[in-house]
Each structure stands twice: as structure tokens, then as C-alpha cells.
Amino acid sequence: IQNHQSYGTRAAASPRVRRAGRGDGASSVLRAAGVTRAAAAAKAEASAESGVDVVERLASASPAHDAVERWIVFSDLHVSKRTMETCKEVLQKVHDEAVATRAGVLFLGDFWHARGAIPVEPLNEALALMSSTKWTAPTIMIPGNHDQVTAGGYSHALTPLAASNANILVFDGPTLYNGALWLPYRRNADVLKRAIQDCRGEFNAIFCHADVVGASMNETFQARDGLDPALFGGANTYTG
């Protein structure tokens, strides 16, 4: 996780400054009820591909999500057949700590490793571990580039996780919720830039899956491409 004001932060206080009013954009929350809103999703997909993505202003997600005061933040699990055992250990530890500290969980993209297809065995194991009876912590996820199937980003492989557990919400489009702006990966970076500009003054934190110029990718490499940190306007920013 890159916190572009304080690198290495793993738990963040809930960004609770104001509640945004509900807007008219297509809903970006996938609920366990399985309502897909196919027509709205297709329209949103086409808009995202063309560089236009309407920001959803979400006043409330669920009583459990709305009540969270602290979040445990992680990303880039990259689940595959080869990594499944390690990933299960990470997921279990994250959830155990969330329960112990009464925190919510934020996942900032790239849950899966192979883009476009989910291996059956890892999918079954992930669904078993993150079922509603075992994964009880309120959780918000955003898709990363490895999770997405389509260029616009609205078709992605986090859908089965959200569909199987009401505690898991997926924001598959730019979403303003609980004083924070949530930005899933977009191949067209202009989509993210417009979302930030359109919501200026309405958020005090950004959670996204994006490259940021100057971010430390590891101990020796800093990103040269991506979003300019000045775009964030001083907001606490966490990226996967």
C-alpha cells in the first residue's frame, strides 16, 4: 500500500468528515442480492471506455459499513493456484485483526493474478474463506487492473466475492462515500483525473488503484508515470 503522505500505513482512521448526497449516476455497489442493472452497467462501461465516468455519490452503504471507525488497508494479493496457500494465510490474518480491533477492511485492487479468467480451485477456496459465515468484517473492495475483464472496468472478477457475502461491497466505478473518493483502476487515467476534479472539496481521503508519479514501488524504484500527486490536493491518498 502506498500512502502518498505517509508511506507504509496499514490501518487508517475512517475518513468521516461529511456524508455525500446520493447522485443520479449508475450504482457502483454490487450487493449480495445479485442485482446487476445490466443496462446501466453497459452504459457506464461505454462511458468509461470513452473517458467519461460518472461519480456515484453514495449517502449510505449499510449500517455495518457506515459505523466503521477504523479500516485495515491492503492490496495486490494476486491470488493464483501457486500463491493460494499464502494468500489464504494473509486473508485470515487480515480478517482476524479486523475482528479483534473492530475495524473494517479495505482492499485496493488486484485480488486475482490472471486477468480475464479465474481458476476454479482458487475461486472455490476464496469463496469458502470469505463466505458470510466466516468473513464478518465490513469490507470495501475496488477492482485493480488484474481483476478487470473489460477496458472500461465495469466487468471484473470481484463480482462473485460480493455476490456471496453481504459484508463485502465492491465499488466498480468512481464513488464518493463517507468523506472519501474511491477510484478503481482505469486504463484511461483521464477518468480518474476528472473524478478527482469533479469532487474537489467533497472528500478528505482517496482510495484508488493507480500509478502515482514518484511513488515508491519497492526499495529502489520510484514510478515515473501515472497521476501527479499535486492532483490529490493534500488529501490523504492510499493506492494499490
pLDDT in tens, 104-118: 999 999 999 988 888
Q: Residue 231 contacts by C-beta under 8 Å, 6 or more apart in sequence?
A: 193, 196, 197
b/e burial code for range 90-111 (CB count within 10 A of at least 16 → b):
ebeebbeebeeeebbbbbbbbb
What pLDDT score does 49 carry?
A: 52
- pLDDT band with cut points at 50, 70 and 90 for residue 215: confident
Q: Angle, to 10 degrees, between the axis of helix 84-101 and the axis of helix 120-129?
A: 20
Q: Which three cell numbers stand for residue 8?
A: 507504509
Q: What is the largest CA-CA distance in the chain?
A: 46
Mean pLDDT across the chain = 82
Within 10 Å of residue 229's Cβ, how many Cβ atoms? 15
Residue 19 above 80 pLDDT? no
pLDDT in tens, 44-97: 555 555 555 789 999 999 999 999 999 999 999 999 999 999 999 999 999 999
pLDDT in tens, 169-184: 999 999 999 999 999 9
Rounded mean pLDDT, 170-199: 93
Residue 147 above 60 pLDDT? yes
**Closest-CA residue to 73 (of 226, 208, 220):** 208
Angstrom distance (rounded) from CA 44 to CA 40: 6
**Closest-CA residue to 115 (of 82, 155, 87):** 155
Check the CA dihedral 138-108-53-193 and report its sign.
positive
pLDDT in tens, 29-38: 334 434 444 4
Angstrom distance (rounded) from CA 187 to CA 61: 27
